[in-house]
Structure formats: C-alpha cells, structure tokens
C-alpha cells in the first residue's frame, strides 16, 4: 500500500475524531467512529484508538507499515449540528472514496454556529419557559430580560468559567436591585428560572456515558469539569448576595 494512501486515510480519521471530540462527542463514540472510518479500507488492519477529552492517539497497520498519529484537541463547546453530520458521514463512509470523504469533512468543518443574536434570543425564551413553569406571570418580563442578558454574557468570547461567574452574578444582582427599588417581583424565582441556561447538561451526559462505558479517566475528567462549572455558578451567585446583603 503506497504511503500516500495510508497517510491520506490517517488525516481523514484524525480530522473526523478531532471534529467529533471538539464539538461535544463522548470518547467511546469518537473511538468507535474513528475505527469505523479506518475499516472502510480493505487494506487496513488492527485499528487502535486512545481518546481522552483533550487528545487523540490512533494507529493502524497498512501492509508492512504501522501508521500512528497523535494530536491535542482544544475544547470549543457543543455543536449538535456537527455531531449529527459526523454520525451521518460515518454511516455513509463505506460507500465513499477518500476524496469524497475529504469533501464531506470540509462541509462539516464549514458548519457555523447559530448567530449570536439567535442564541441570545433563544436564551431569553428558554428562561421565559422556565419562568412560566416556576413563577408568577408578573415576573415573566423580568425573567425574559434576565435570560437575554445572561445569554449575551454566555455567548461572549472569554474563558467559560469567567462567563459563568459573570452570568450568575448578573441573574442574582439585577432582580435583587429591582426588588430593592420597589418592583414587586419574586427575586428567587427570577434567579432560579435562569440558572438552567448555565447547567452543563451535555457535559454531565458525556461524563455518565463515559463512566458506564468503562472510560473512567474521561468520565472523571468531565465530572470534575462539571463540578467546576457548578462552583463557578454558586460563586457568582454568592458574590452578588454578599455584595447586596441579600
């Protein structure tokens, strides 16, 4: 097998795994998908993958060669559109040439997240929904406004922990100030209705799934990250309450 073809396949497999892991995939699914792509070529033998939440290592045999690749994967958040596209790509990869797979990966990599204004507006309506479930109709406008503000903060370009601190401070401080200035709202419900925006649901799901699949290192790492996010939310809320003597 020419080294060009084996190197080309290695690049496709690495790119697939990196995109999948970078946008929210759990390590078991990433490893299975990479092996599935390797097995689309009849000359590939013994594909092996080691996946952590921040790195990829895989190898396979091609003739008398052992092809090995490793890379670091920066975390950039969750994108369900990319994950769905990779699932569809892996299902159809066996019927594609390597050139077609490269074009498919180009299209997946070009998928853009929703515009910021859409995500901010969605945050407001999500908070509105929780407000209708939890609170008094009089609180709904304030809850919607808080959801917009929290969404605007959470979609900014900064470290995730600092954004969570700022957002949790905002959703606690603003209703407390409005209540202090005479607006008849329930500050606890206004705050609680916006907390779900910051809960790391997909992260917790992946931590549980990795642990169930005996990937204890990845499960522990994701669990620690989820706990850190919880601490950041609690810290932002606590700082606001301490400053305003709530």
pLDDT tens-digit readout, 5-14: 888 899 999 9
* Mean pLDDT, rounded, for 143-154: 92
CA angle 163, 164, 169 (to 5 degrees): 100
Domains, in order of start, for the chain: 3-109 (3.30.1300), 116-244 (no CATH)
Residue 24 pLDDT exceeds 90: no
Identify the residue with better confidence: 16 or 186: 16
* Mean pLDDT, rounded, for 112-127: 90
C-alpha torsion sign, points 156, 227, 186, 181: negative
Neighbours of 1 (CB within 10 A): 15
Eight-state DSSP code of residue 26: -
- Which DSSP helix (H) or strand (E) runs through 68? strand 65-72
Residue 53 CA to residue 211 CA, distance in Å, equals 13
**What percentage of the chain reaches a pLDDT higher than 70?**
97
Residue 140 pLDDT exceeds 60: yes
User: Mean pLDDT lowest for which of 94-98, 124-128, 130-134, 238-242?
Assistant: 130-134
* Six-digit token string for 163: 């954004």
* Six-digit token string for 192: 């609680």
Non-local CB neighbours of 13 within 8 Å, separated by 6+ positions = 34, 37, 38, 58, 69
- CB 199 within 8 Å of CB 126: no
Q: What is the pLDDT of residues 88-113, one digit of tens each?
A: 998 888 888 888 999 999 999 898 88
Q: What is the pLDDT of residues 159-208, one digit of tens each?
A: 888 999 999 999 999 998 988 888 888 888 888 889 888 988 888 888 88
| Nearest C-alpha neighbor of 22 from the set 102, 78, 104, 105 | 78
Radius of gyration of the chain (CA): 22
């Amino acid at each position: 097998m020419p080294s060009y073809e084996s190197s080309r396949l290695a690049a496709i497999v690495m790119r697939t795994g990196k995109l999948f892991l970078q946008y929210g995939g759990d390590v078991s699914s990433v490893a299975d998908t990479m092996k599935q792509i390797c097995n689309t070529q009849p000359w590939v033998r013994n594909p092996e993958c080691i996946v952590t939440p921040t790195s990829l290592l895989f190898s396979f045999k091609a003739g008398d060669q052992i092809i090995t690749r490793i890379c670091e994967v920066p975390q950039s958040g969750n994108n369900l559109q990319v994950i769905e596209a990779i699932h569809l790509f892996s299902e159809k990869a066996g019927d594609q040439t390597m050139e077609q797979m490269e074009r498919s990966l180009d299209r997946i990599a070009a998928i853009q997240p929703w515009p910021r204004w859409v995500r901010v507006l969605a945050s407001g309506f999500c908070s509105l929904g929780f407000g209708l479930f939890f609170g008094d109709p009089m609180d709904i406008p304030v809850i919607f406004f808080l959801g917009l503000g929290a969404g605007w903060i959470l979609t900014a370009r900064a470290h995730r922990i600092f954004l969570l601190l700022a957002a949790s401070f905002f959703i606690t401080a603003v209703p407390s100030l409005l209540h202090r200035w005479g607006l008849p709202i329930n500050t606890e419900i206004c705050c609680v209705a916006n907390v779900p925006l910051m809960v790391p649901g997909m992260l917790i799901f992946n931590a549980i799934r990795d642990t169930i699949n005996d990937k204890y290192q990845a499960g522990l790492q994701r669990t620690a990250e989820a706990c850190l996010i919880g601490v950041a939310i609690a810290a932002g809320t606590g700082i606001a309450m301490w400053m305003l003597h709530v």
